[in-house]
Structure 1
Amino acid sequence: MHRNTPSPGAIPIPGGRKIPHVGGDLPAGDALPRRDVLRPAPRYERRRRALGLLAAMLCAALLLVCLLLWSDDDDPKDLHSSTLAGVRRTHGPVCLDLAVDYSGSMRSKAATRDAALAELQSFIQRNLRPEDVLASVAFTDSALLTLPPTQKSRLTGSAVSSGGPPDGSGTELEPALESLQRAYRQSRIECAAHALIVVTDVELADPPSALAARFTEMRLQRVYWAIPGRGDGSSPGIAGAPALRSVIARGFKDARGLSLLYGRALALLTGQRLVKA
């Protein structure tokens, strides 16, 4: 029987094909495996891997820079130059309540409080619907309703009273919450989403469990402590009580910071984003 033998100058490999051998004949049986013939040179392989890794690192760095630039460009610096972006997800009126501490320890924040409120009213006129609601109450150990629940269509620049309750012997939030509840019952306004922001140094005499129960009765989706001078958002006084752990503590240093807190609360209520206009 005739057997196929490799011709001189060729390298037999599996499959019956032949690869010319430049350097002359190889001894019989020394056929090269296919993987050895097709394997890249080690130096080329290292270079290819290094270039691939470098390209991946450059792409990641470029993406990070783009994200940082986009985030910084989109982040609002003040409420005056901000707007609500995206499709509104809440159907029906959104209600924002302000409970403002007028006790002696908060007297130095009066100008900050008033400037932030003016920014909020302007923002509401630009961004909310006619049926959306703002309410405000001032408190010490008693309460004074400075703005009953008022729809945007009826809100004017002078709608909020600048007065407050007389100084008392302590500071209690519950009378303010009771005043708000009563006002909403009288107005017959039904809120689709409802938030409360308490502007205070949180040196309150109320039992935490009583406040927690009242927040539940009011059907509030969010409650915030807006604490002056607390840039880190830490929770002093009653704000650290276990019964009130669902209340979100946010610090502010000036009217810009306080008004931005108001804007972010409204964005959460509507289901939109607060961005630069």
Structure 2
Amino acid sequence: MTRPRTGPLRKVQDVSLARTSLVTFQLHGPGETDEAGGASLLAVYQDASGGGLALVADDRGLMIDPSAAPDGTVRIVVAVEAASGAVARVGGVRCTVRDDHGADLAVLSGAAAGEATPDPVHLLGECYRRRGEWRFREIGYGLADDAAITRELGPGAADHHHRRRAAALTRPAEPDRPAEPDRAAPSPPATEARPVRALPPPNLDAARIAGERTARGPVSLEVAVDLSGSMIRYARLRKSALHALAGFARREMAAGDLLTSVAFADRAAILVSPVDVRKLRRVTDRPSRDVGGGTQLSPAVQLLMELRPRGPVKYGARALMVITDVALGDDPRRLGTLLRKAAYDSVHLVVPAPEGPVYLRDRDPLRHAAVHHFADADQLGLIYGAVFAAMTGQRLEHR
């Protein structure tokens, strides 16, 4: 195990997070006994435009897995906020950033932690993506009001901060009562960070679909699985992800929501015939017939269209999910024609993490596809859940 470092680390600007899957932000300070009402940590997941995708908060610690962040996240901003007054009034605030071995990546204290900040919110630092890798750097300045909070962190953060301050001002004082040491539950140790409910779920077992469903009618997810030689090694992983999807769907999806899956190489064959995803039972990665040895997506799209149920049902959304390493050998014009004919509302490229960033040419028919990376079955399962949630107009979150 890596031995934790001690003492503050100066000028934290470019800390690689490549060797850790979990980053813990641990808040140390006087807590709720302070006259200012204590401080808490706030993390905002942002997309490339600066829009907020998710927000989590806790008065002691946050555990963040950047690889499990909501789709589209490019930046995770972490701030400390005072329950009332200025961050400087809280006094003694210190934030330790640790990896999943317990080693200190950064210790933010003094001015870096808002010691002199006259504002109610102080930006500690951010996890950000650079060349496909997550990194951390210190920020170190305050946000004076709701306008500044909205500008830097989005309206969701401003709303959260406003509600928290209102609660701090209206919270009634608890009457004095004798302590009951024998019956009181032990307090968690000061160094333990608590998982926060709103953090991205680690797997589908811990996930739910939240928000109002806006899709008019059932949704249909059509999956094309690349079974060419370079993708064979992911067979067990893909099967495990489908097992997880089966349990998730029974709990979270609506009647009539469909899943169809086909395998492809230079030919296509059925893996899962169209099925109400809540009734998914037969999980396999073995196609109904041999699919050859090339990498042609076009036969898969053609077969998926042929498998679509006939009848009066109108689907609220239809998506294509392609699990591949993107080494496709299709004629671009033919594939583009098929994709337009298939009329998907969205297309998702799901690529093994070792393949790194995906670069598609300007005329590639998949150039507008959303790209997702997975390294294990849990991450692949979460992609299934996130795509279903996007089709229904909802979101995937920790339950």
What is the match of residue 111 of structure 1? 236
Shift of 1:88: 0.6
Q: 1:156 aligns with which of 276, 280, 301?
A: 280
Q: Which runs of 5+ in 1 are unaligned?
A: 1-50
Q: 1:229 aligns with which of 353, 358, 365?
A: 353
Q: Using the aligned pairs only, state the percent identity.
A: 32
What is the match of residue 343 of structure 2? 219
Letter in 1 for 2:325: D
Query: Could you tell me whether the CA contact under 8 Å between 1:90 and 1:192 is conserved in 2?
Result: yes
Moved more, 204-213 or 191-200: 204-213
Cα distance in 2 for residues equivalent to 1:172 and 1:74:
38
What is the match of residue 200 of structure 1? 324
**1:85-104 matches, cutoff 5 A:** 85-104=210-229
Against the structure 1 CA distance between its residues 170 and 272, is the aligned structure 2 distance closer, same or farther, given a 3 Å change threshold? same
What is the match of residue 242 of structure 1? 363
Shift of 1:186: 4.3
Against the structure 1 CA distance between its residues 113 and 241, is the aligned structure 2 distance closer, same or farther, given a 3 Å change threshold? farther
**1:43-122 matches, cutoff 5 A:** 57-61=118-122, 73-122=198-247
TM-score scaled by length of structure 1: 0.71
Q: Cα deviations across residues 105-132 of structure 1 (Å, max 9, x unaligned)?
A: 1111011110111111211111111111
Against the structure 1 CA distance between its residues 156 and 206, is the aligned structure 2 distance closer, same or farther, given a 3 Å change threshold? same
Cα distance in 2 for residues equivalent to 1:206 and 1:231:
20
Shift of 1:231: 7.7
Query: Could you tell me whether the CA contact under 8 Å between 1:201 and 1:228 is conserved in 2?
Result: yes
Question: Per the alignment, in what secondary structure is the counterpart of residue 204 of structure 2?
Answer: coil
Against the structure 1 CA distance between its residues 149 and 57, is the aligned structure 2 distance closer, same or farther, given a 3 Å change threshold? farther
Runs (4+) off by over 4 Å = 51-56, 62-67, 69-72, 185-189
Shift of 1:190: 3.2
Question: Per the alignment, in what secondary structure is the counterpart of residue 347 of structure 2?
Answer: strand
Cα distance in 2 for residues equivalent to 1:78 and 1:131:
24
Structure number having the greater helix percentage: 1
Question: Per the alignment, in what secondary structure is the counterpart of residue 344 of structure 2?
Answer: coil
Query: Could you tell me whether the CA contact under 8 Å between 2:210 and 2:397 is conserved in 1?
Result: yes
Moved more, 212-221 or 253-262: 212-221
Letter in 1 for 2:314: E
What is the match of residue 387 of structure 2? 265
Q: Which structure has the higher relative contact order (CA within 8 Å, separation 6+)? A: 1
TM-score scaled by length of structure 2: 0.50
Which protein shows a greater Rg?
Answer: 1
Shift of 1:213: 2.2
Against the structure 1 CA distance between its residues 213 and 188, is the aligned structure 2 distance closer, same or farther, given a 3 Å change threshold? farther
Structure number having the greater strand percentage: 2
Against the structure 1 CA distance between its residues 199 and 187, is the aligned structure 2 distance closer, same or farther, given a 3 Å change threshold? farther
Q: Which runs of 5+ in 2 are unaligned?
A: 1-84, 90-116, 124-148, 162-193
Q: 2:268 aligns with which of 143, 146, 149?
A: 143
